[in-house]
Amino acid sequence: MGAAAGAACHPRRPRAPTPSSEAPPPGGRSARVRSWGAGLVPRLRSRSPALGSLDFPPPPRPARVARVSDRARSRLWSAMRRLALRLCALNRELLIPGRGLTQGSQNPEKQRVFHMHEACSPIHVNHVRDKLREIVGVSTNWRDHMKAMEERKLLQSFLAKSQEGLPPRTMKDSYIEVLLPLGSQPELREKYLTVQNTIRFGRILEDLDSLGVLICYMHTRVHAAKMSPLSIVTALVDKIDMCKTSLSPEQDIKFSGHVSWVGKTSMEVKMQMFQLHGNEFCPVLDATFVMVARDSENKGPAFVNPLIPESPEEEELFRQGELNKGRRVTFSATSLLKMAPSAEERTTIHEMFLNTLDPKTVSFRSRILPPNAVWMENSKLKSLEVCHPQERNIFNRIFGGFLMRKAYELGWATACNFGGSRPFVVAVDDIMFQKPVEVGSLLFLSSQVCFTKDNYIQVRVHSEVASLESKEHMTTNVFHFTFMSEKEVPLVFPRTYGESMLYLDGKRHFNSMSVPVKLRKDCSEAP
């Protein structure tokens, strides 16, 4: 009696269908899930052909869906909905061009502001060197480098006999973005942090050098070859202009760049660096590098793909590249190592000489310093580096970025010691890579102040290398850095004719700086 009453008050729920049960009717919920899920991927493929290369799991068989419980069907529905949202987001990204030279607002007042939400997916900074190794086909193991170089000899057949035999490329073909997530990945900060809680500019030089090489490999990539037959190396750092005195180590940094001019065997690369402020990446650095292409064994020159500008802006960039080449040729032809100083420069040196004569003796040999002045020979600093395999590049020579970092740090110390306060780099120019540095060499760096004006310090760093066997010294690089001190610095006076030439050379480099008086007004001060 009680059992019957209980059954009447609480009717028994129907049991779940057994494996032998029939599938729900066509209008049921599981049928709708099956039909919607089966048609989702073809619809997305038809909207975006780029999805055709992606592999998707096949839709579940009807029999399996029919057997699951209501809870399982609900979970399946949620999973399919999440998959649809992710695929739709991917579809929208693929419909947007992957590369573009014009980033940010079209408002002329914000033309130089880089908007984060408009950027394509950048490469992580730690993956740049890995990509270069993959392109060249070298191993991270030092013992395997000889085998890798032997394998690269087989790539000689992929080298073009002339530039006309290579397909032309556009600036968009080489456009790359690289992310340095200092804000979102705090574990990266240790490598880039200074004691003043700013960013080590020497590390930035290393990243720029690697990025410039990767950009050139994107321009010259050969689809028929698994590895690139070219050996691309840095020939010259034409100029680097800063528009901020310091950078925050707690905000993300983004690099971007592309090939802007091409010769027969050389390429000019334009790069920019941005730092995140709020929701925008604001520009803080402009850099121009010159790269050269050599054969697969890095023994002779090799032709590179021609470049075709596609817009008036790109035509202007290409024209500027031609002007930069002409300027470099003129600057080299009028070097003080080849030609005598101009009449104005000779007058400057003579006036400085007269200002250092002792009025009591009236003798050419008796020299005294004017007030607030320092002899150039007293501004020197030197250092020695042992070139270990850890600092090698993908061609088993010493990495050019490492050389720039060491030269910069010595130059910074020289400017700091001379000015008596913490200096800020504002420009780098005319870094010529004359000879490669072999692994195991001794690297001698000599730095000195060669020109000053107000609170600016022009520093020249000379780099030479000596092998352990021959002990013969050879010049490999000459670096020019322009620093700005927090206060006015003393004047520097040459004592010999050689130092007078260094003074004039430093003055020439200072006058060629893009912002010789103050930082750009359109850039805010770094925190």
User: For the residues of 474-496, what is the DSSP string, one character each?
Assistant: EEEEEEEEEEE-SS---EEE--S
- DSSP-derived 3-state class of residue 324: helix
Q: Is the pLDDT of residue 525 over 50?
A: no
Q: Detail the DSSP E strand segments found in 368-455.
A: 373-375, 381-386, 424-433, 442-453
Query: In the prediction, which pLDDT does 333 show?
Result: 85
pLDDT digits (tens, 9 = 90+) for 309-338: 999 999 999 999 999 999 888 888 888 888
Residues 6+ apart with CB under 8 A from 365: none
pLDDT digits (tens, 9 = 90+) for 155-203: 887 888 889 889 999 999 999 999 999 988 888 999 999 888 889 999 9
Burial of 68 from C-beta contacts in 10 A (0-12 / 13-18 / 19+): middle
Q: Among 241-250, 405-414, 445-454, which is the least confidently predicted range?
A: 241-250
Instruction: Enter the DSSP assignment of 263.
Output: -
**Tally of CA atoms within 13 A in the half-sphere of 352 that contains its CB:** 23
3-state helix, strand and coil shares in percent for the chain, rounded to the nearest 5: 40, 25, 35
As given in the structure block, the two tokens for residue 111 are: 């033309």
As given in the structure block, the two tokens for residue 281 are: 């990446």
> Is-contact 381 448, C-beta < 8 A?
yes
As given in the structure block, the two tokens for residue 124 are: 């992580």
As given in the structure block, the two tokens for residue 478 are: 């000459």
Entry field: residues in the chain? 527
pLDDT digits (tens, 9 = 90+) for 47-58: 444 444 444 445
Q: Where are the alpha helices (DSSP H) in 48-188?
A: 62-67, 70-95, 128-136, 145-152
Mean pLDDT confidence for 400-406: 91
> Is-contact 205 405, C-beta < 8 A?
yes
Q: How far apart are CA 180 and CA 176, in angstroms?
A: 13
Return the closest-CA partner of residue 292 out of 257, 315, 325, 244.
325
Residues 6+ apart with CB under 8 A from 27: none
User: For the residues of 168-185, what is the DSSP string, one character each?
Assistant: -B-TGGG-EEEEE-TTT-
Q: Is the pLDDT of residue 119 over 50?
A: no
Query: In the prediction, which pLDDT does 462 show?
Result: 94
pLDDT digits (tens, 9 = 90+) for 256-277: 999 999 999 999 999 999 999 8
**Average per-residue pLDDT for the chain:** 78
Residues 6+ apart with CB under 8 A from 270: 257, 258, 259, 260, 286, 287, 288, 317
Query: In the prediction, which pLDDT does 7 show?
Result: 42
Return the closest-CA partner of residue 490 out of 430, 420, 394.
420
Q: Is the pLDDT of residue 80 over 60?
A: yes
pTM of the entire predicted model? 0.72
For 368, phi and psi rounded to 5 degrees? -135, 155
Mean pLDDT confidence for 102-115: 37
Q: Is the pLDDT of residue 68 over 60?
A: no
Q: How far apart are CA 242 and CA 283, in angstroms?
A: 9
Return the closest-CA partner of residue 209 out of 145, 128, 136.
128
> Is-contact 266 326, C-beta < 8 A?
no
> Is-contact 196 422, C-beta < 8 A?
yes
> Is-contact 483 457, C-beta < 8 A?
yes
CA angle 151, 155, 159 (to 5 degrees): 160
For 15, phi and psi rounded to 5 degrees? -75, 155
pLDDT digits (tens, 9 = 90+) for 459-514: 999 999 887 777 788 899 899 999 999 889 999 999 999 999 999 999 999 998 76
CA dihedral over 263, 267, 268, 274, signed as positive or negative:
positive
- Per-residue pLDDT band at 24 (split at 50, 70, 90): very low
Q: How far apart are CA 263 and CA 293, in angstroms?
A: 10
- Per-residue pLDDT band at 417 (split at 50, 70, 90): very high
Return the closest-CA partner of residue 348 out of 496, 504, 499.
504
> Is-contact 290 235, C-beta < 8 A?
yes
